[in-house]
């Protein structure tokens, strides 16, 4: 485990291993890089695998929030990832992002196409597409998006973070569980994670809208994978139909036989799906 300075006073904690083409795995909320502990060793048989904590998450730096939410915007986090990989000597790399990490991943593919060879988005659609479809079903299932933007969320969550997040030690594995518990028990980490969501409702949505209007598209091969036992397909039908409007390069889809935290619940299937995609 190490820390890498990516500029602007921000250092990202990470682990890396393996040999071959570079692939970086980006976790979701409220996880850290340790969520990949069952997937990364399988991918490392064929690839150089880099697993960081996103800024604000885990033990990575937590810069102060700003009123416009740029400090935790996807564009800012995507720039962190490109700088990180450059510092590690990787000018070109594949990106895999789950949940919140998927937003950072597709933003990096749009903003930095010269660096991204492949993109895999797991359990996600573009933020603007989700918000434009925010009907009663979405509000019932994903109410936390809007609660996190409220001024009350930090106080409520930090009052009893384990009651809020309810991590499952048996499913997660001990080290992964311990790392997440340490993260969510830190009020500064909780604030940073909330700022990530607040950015989605403001600056991230606006950036998505501008890209869509200008016709910017993801040019690299893209895999969209979703969990069979989560609600993405219930909300949107086939998510690849949404992503097709954002991609000019090859696009494929896959269903993972798991709940939302697919890297912890179906690591073998996920690793095989990603390996096949990255080798294609």
156: which strand partners?
none
For 18, left (φ over 0), alpha (ψ -120 to 50), or beta?
left
The crossing angle, in degrees rounded to 10, of helices 100-111 and 74-87 is 70
Contacts of 107 (CB under 8 A, 6+ apart): 74, 75, 77, 78, 204, 207
Of 99, 179, 208, 230, the catalytic one is: 99
29 as an active site residue: the answer is: no
Distance of CA 273 to the CA centre of its chain: 17
Which secondary-structure segment (H or E) carries 117?
A: strand 116-122
Helices (H), 133-186: 136-141, 144-148, 153-159, 161-165, 169-172, 174-184
- List the one residue out of 168, 150, 124, 147 whose CA is nearest residue 31: 168
Helices (H), 2-68: 40-43
Question: CA–CA separation, 42 vs 89, rounded Å?
Answer: 22
Contacts of 241 (CB under 8 A, 6+ apart): none
99 as an active site residue: the answer is: yes
Q: How many CA atoms lie within 13 A of 180 on its CB side?
A: 26
> Other C-beta atoms within 10 Å of 90: how many?
19
> Other C-beta atoms within 10 Å of 270: how many?
28
Residues serving a catalytic function are: 99, 260
């Amino acid at each position: 485990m190490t820390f890498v300075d990516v500029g602007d006073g921000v250092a990202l904690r990470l682990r890396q291993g393996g040999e071959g083409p570079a692939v970086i795995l980006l976790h979701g909320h409220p996880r850290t890089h340790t969520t990949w502990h069952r997937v990364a060793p399988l991918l490392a048989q064929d690839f150089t695998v880099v697993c960081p904590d996103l800024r604000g998450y885990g033990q990575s730096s937590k810069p102060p929030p700003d009123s416009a939410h740029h400090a935790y915007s996807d564009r800012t986090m995507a720039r962190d990832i490109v700088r990180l990989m450059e510092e590690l000597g990787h000018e070109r790399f594949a990106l895999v992002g789950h949940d919140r990490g998927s937003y950072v991943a597709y933003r990096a593919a749009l903003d930095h196409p010269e660096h991204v060879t492949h993109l895999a988005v797991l359990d996600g659609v573009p933020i603007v597409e989700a918000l434009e479809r925010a009907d009663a079903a979405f509000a019932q299932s994903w109410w936390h998006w809007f609660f996190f933007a409220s001024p009350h969320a930090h106080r409520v969550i930090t009052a009893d973070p384990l009651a809020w997040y309810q991590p499952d030690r048996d499913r997660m594995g001990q080290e992964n569980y311990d790392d997440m518990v340490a993260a969510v028990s830190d009020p500064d980490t909780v604030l940073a994670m909330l700022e990530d969501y607040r950015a989605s409702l403001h600056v991230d949505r606006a950036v998505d809208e501008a890209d869509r209007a200008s016709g910017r598209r993801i040019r690299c091969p893209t895999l969209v994978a979703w969990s069979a036992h989560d609600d993405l397909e219930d909300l949107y039908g086939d998510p690849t139909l949404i992503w097709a409007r954002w991609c000019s390069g090859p696009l494929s889809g896959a269903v993972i036989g798991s709940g939302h935290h697919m890297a912890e619940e179906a690591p073998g299937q996920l690793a095989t799906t990603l390996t096949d995609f990255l080798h294609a």
